[in-house]
Structure 1
Amino acid sequence: MSRETELTGLSATELAARIRTGDVTATDAVEAHLERIDSLDGEINAFVTVCEDEALEAAAEADRALEDGADVGPLHGVPLALKDLGSVKEGVRHTYGSALFADHVADRTSAIVERLEDAGAIVIGKTNTPELGHKGTTDNELIGATASPIDTDLNAGGSSGGSAAALAAGMTPIATGSDAGGSLRIPAAACGVYGFKPTFGLIPDDGRPSAFGRELQHTTKGPMTRTVEDAALLLSLMDGPHPDDPNSVPVDIDYRDAVERPIDDYRIAYSPDLDAFPIDDDVRAVVDDAVTAFADAGATVDTVPLDHGYSMAELSEAAMPAYTTSVLESATVIEEAHGVDFLERSDEVSDSLLAMLHVGEEYGPEDVARSGIVRTGVYDAVQDLFADYDLLVAPTLSRADLGLYEDLEAEAWDWPLTWPFNWTGHPVASAPAGLTDRGHPVGLQLVGRRFADDEILAASAALERERPWNHLYE
């Protein structure tokens, strides 16, 4: 095993421990991951920007700090990839996944990036995302499509596809993502990694110029990792109220201890299709098998209906105004902030984003109001289920064969089982469930009570112990 492969195969927790003991330097760690990017990213296309010089300089400073005996944080010297949407770092290119912003450089650093850097993480680059993060696949007019490292004929999923692909390929041990309809969980499933959408309000978002753009379609940032332990560590560093976020909440959750917690007293509800989604047989087979791991860990598992009472058509009809209006809102905020009109410069904008913006323009307040009624019905159904169960588990995606350049229509709501939980605000993780017979990765969603994010981590860690998934990265 080469030094590069050895270091890039470590979790963030393991790598940080070895750096602190002096077995590995921060420079070793950063150089190994830069080499990995150089050797693999030509095919995978995970990074929009690589911060080679800045990362090496930061690594040298980190090594000097250890030599001087300084107190260091839990991520000291660990490379970190940032989604090129929302996770801004001052002085580094920030494109929103758009060719219109190919030369835009951020003039500030977002709160979560500050927190991770304060813990010692070293930003190694910015990862690819569809334009404004508007869809569940990663492809744009700026650098093109991002492939899943497990099967490069498949798309990495979106919108945090670059982060998920970079993790699965060993180009970074930790990454940030964000989720407005599944953007953490869809690519986690497509790339065989772990993505966590926290309860709305736990992770602060100090985005400007609008601080109120996340409520209509609950949008939150969150961690993407290869291990549950690393996700718990990142959550412990990222969460906590921030004065610039009117939605942030002061809730104290012990994420890290949850990883070792037994689940033999858990009652887990399994919904194979959330009562409405058309699940491919090969996906259903993998998820059915994966769910037995919770029983193996001592939990009680029941297959149950969700009982929300809506058809797929009714759910999709309600999803359209809320989601497309939120995308239109994002474009409007960017226009106000930067003076860039996406519709006026349509020849430089992706067709799928243009189509979604035009759809969003067709809806008015009354359409959004009606969608809120269905949204409330789904929320009530989930809350009723949690009166009897600790967790709800379901597939992340209905299919596992999304091609690298496959572009789904704005109306294609039936393939990700993710967006209902952006309606409800519940915490959800997507964990690797296994591979289909064709070698395609399948994800399993774990949904918890609001502000019971630690219970998801406990169950996820039990799943990882019973069905380890690190072989996906070999």
Structure 2
Amino acid sequence: MTNTSEVDDLVLTPAVELAQRIRGRSLSPVEIVDAYLKRIDAHNTAINAYVCVLADQARTAALAAEKDVITGRLRGPLHGVPIAVKDLFDFKAGVPNTFGVKEFQAYVPAETAPHVTRLEQLGAIVLGKTNTPEFGHKATTDNRLFGPTSTPFAPGHNAGGSSGGSAAAVAAGMCALSQGSDGGGSVRIPAAMCGVVGLKPSYGLLAGIVRPDAFFTLDPFMGNGPLARSVEDCALMLDAMAGFDARDPGSVPLPEQRYRDAVLAPVAGLRVAYLPTLGGFPVAEEVRAVLDESVRALETAGVTVEMPEVTLPAPHQEITDLWMRLTGSAMVCLMEMFGDLGLDLRAVAWADLPPHLRAVADRGFALSTVENRRDQFLRTAVFDMINGVLEDYDAIVTPTTAVAGVANTEDGWTVGPDTVNGESVDPLLGWCLTHPFNYSGHPAISVPAGTSPVGLPVGMQIVGRRFRDDTVLGLAAAYERIRPWQHNYRKLFV
């Protein structure tokens, strides 16, 4: 019988090593899946990462994967590797998909989402669906249906959002890799708060097939991304997820490359712009102190770090409010799509939804065409600011979030702070430095940078030129080698 220590060793094994050992037949996918399911059973109640565990389906898939290994029919780089997927637009046929919304708890999609299908076709085994706030509308994970998800590093403090369940599952060793989605920081924010690696790839690198509105992911740029316990594991999952699909009007047919190769690429000689406030966001001193030390560590790898003078094209509150307006327009689209399916939230449950979500949606319904188009002027100014910095530098480094932790509430409406350093911020997202890069489409990764004085994880965000995801991964991996973090996961459940 497998003891607890052996299970912990197995579930904390890097995904890259799991994949190699499966191919070499020194580990069975069945053994690995069983270890993860045992870990989930032991620890999910305290963290609330999974909202649906597909134990029987995962074991069936593991048996099939084991037979394929024996017969030499490997499906791809993730063959037999257990993953988690988000409970948002990440459908799996026949499995409930709630969007984090109480009124949708009976919704069961008939088809699997194309990006989930791709992961399964390349060998990944889906262990279950992970928690998210209603429609992924905020930077914390909490809802009236399942409640809050905690960071494993501090149960009772939120995992971040909106891919909080996915990030917490990875950090807690309840999956090898997980899929998240990012429309304003929803991969990077929970990566920072759960102490894992989370990448928002360049917009267009990963195909996203949405119907009936194929252009849904444009305002702001939204897409999927990997969450992992190491940069190399993150690159492994990116290799599986990346690819052109003509059904997505934003998909870009780029030359094929193996992003895992970027992990060992030399970074000496690269020039990095350190923007501790991204030109105007308030940042807590405890976070700033961790980032100041982190960029000094990058310099030991031969990276030139400078602090150019950069100013946001508008006050940070307006930069965040732009995201609220753009997201409001996207929310209108969602409401219309669900209405066509006979799920009219405005008619049956509007007063019961979180007030912040209703406020965002109401603004979307009220926006005029003129106001919507004028918002693109400010978005363009942000885009130009970022591009201007990246004309002179290979990458930008910022904090991922302005604060190190957010305490859970008991009402299902957990949000972030409304002030940072005495300045007002929007509690949904204004305490994060992530959404400007959803206006621009640049690749951005969050890597564990350290901890606050009370032990809460702090994330460092690295942003690169468009379609230079390899540079972002290379810098992140170089930092990880200088200041390794993986040993911290083993301390979580002793």
1:211-222 superposed matches below 5 A? 211-222=214-225
Map of 2:210 onto structure 1: 207
> How many Å apart are 1:338 and its aligned residue?
4.2
Note if contact 1:197-1:221 (Cα within 8 Å) is conserved in structure 2: yes
2:253 is aligned with 1:275 = no
- Deviation digits for residues 93-145 of structure 1 (CA, Å, limit 9, x no counterpart): 21111112212222112222122112211010000000110111101121111
| Distance in 1 of aligned mates of 2:182 and 2:334 | 14
C-alpha distance in 2 between matches for 1:144 and 1:23 = 40
Query: Which secondary structure does the structure 1 equivalent of 2:94 belong to?
Result: coil
Most deviating of 149-158 and 236-245: 236-245
Q: Note if 1:407 corresponds to 2:423.
A: no
Once the two structures are overlaid, the 10-residue window that deviates more, 415-424 or 397-406, is: 397-406
Task: Point out the more displaced range, 165-174 or 95-104.
Answer: 95-104
Give runs of aligned pairs for residues 294-373 of structure 1, distance below 5 A. Answer: 294-373=298-377
Say whether residues 1:469 and 2:477 are aligned partners: no
Q: Structure 1's 341 and 314: CA in aligned 2 closer, same or farther, altered over 3 A? A: closer
Residue 175 of structure 2 is aligned to residue 172 of structure 1: yes
Q: What's the CA shift string for 1:229-278, capped at 9, x where partnerless?
A: 11111111111111321111101244121111010020010000011111
The alpha carbon displacement at 1:316 in A equals 3.4
Between 446-455 and 315-324, the greater mean CA deviation after superposition: 315-324
Cα contact 1:428–1:447 (8 A) shared by 2: yes
Residues 139 and 415 in structure 2, CA contact (< 8 A), matched pair in contact too: no
- Could you report, residue by residue, the CA deviation over 1:322-341 in whole angstroms, capped at 9, with x for unpaired residues? 22222232232222234333
Residue 446 of structure 2 corresponds to residue 442 of structure 1: no
TM-score of the aligned structures, taking structure 2 as reference length: 0.93
Structure 1: 5+ residue stretches without partners: none
In structure 2, the residue corresponding to 1:155 is in which secondary structure? Answer: coil
C-alpha separation in 1, matches of 2:258 and 2:28? 30
The residue aligned with 1:456 is 472
Larger CA deviation: 216-225 vs 67-76: 67-76
Of 5, 20, 23, which aligns to 1:20? 23
What CA distance in whole angstroms lies between the structure 2 residues aligned with 1:46 and 1:444?
A: 23
* Superposition deviation, residue 366 in structure 1: 2.2
Distance in 2 (CA, whole Å) between partners of 1:205 and 1:318 is 23
Q: In the alignment, residue 292 of structure 1 is paired with which amino acid?
A: R
1:196 correspondence with 2:199 = yes
- One-letter amino acid matched to 1:95: T
Give the Cα–Cα distance (whole angstroms) in 1 for the partners of residues 49 and 242 of structure 2: 26
Answer whether contact 1:36 1:170 (CA < 8 A) is retained.
yes
In the superposition, the TM-score normalised over structure 1's length comes to: 0.96
Number of residue pairs the alignment of both structures matches: 474
RMSD, aligned CA: 1.6
- Give the 3-state SS of the residue equivalent to 2:338 in structure 1: helix
* 1:347 positional shift: 4.9
Q: Percent identity?
A: 43
Q: Distance in 2 between matches of 1:36 and 1:71?
A: 26
Closer/same/farther in 2, CA of residues 363 and 72 from structure 1, 3 Å limit:
closer
Equivalent in the alignment of 1:293: 297
Which sits farther off after the overlay, 97-106 or 55-64?
A: 97-106
Change (3 A) 1:310 1:353: closer
Residues 32-431 of structure 1: pairs in structure 2 closer than 5 A: 32-252=35-255, 253-405=257-409, 406-408=414-416, 411-412=426-427, 413-431=429-447
One-letter amino acid of the counterpart of residue 24, structure 2: T
Residue identity matched to 1:25: S
Per-residue CA shift, 1:415-445, capped at 9, x if unaligned?
A: 0100011111111111111101110111111
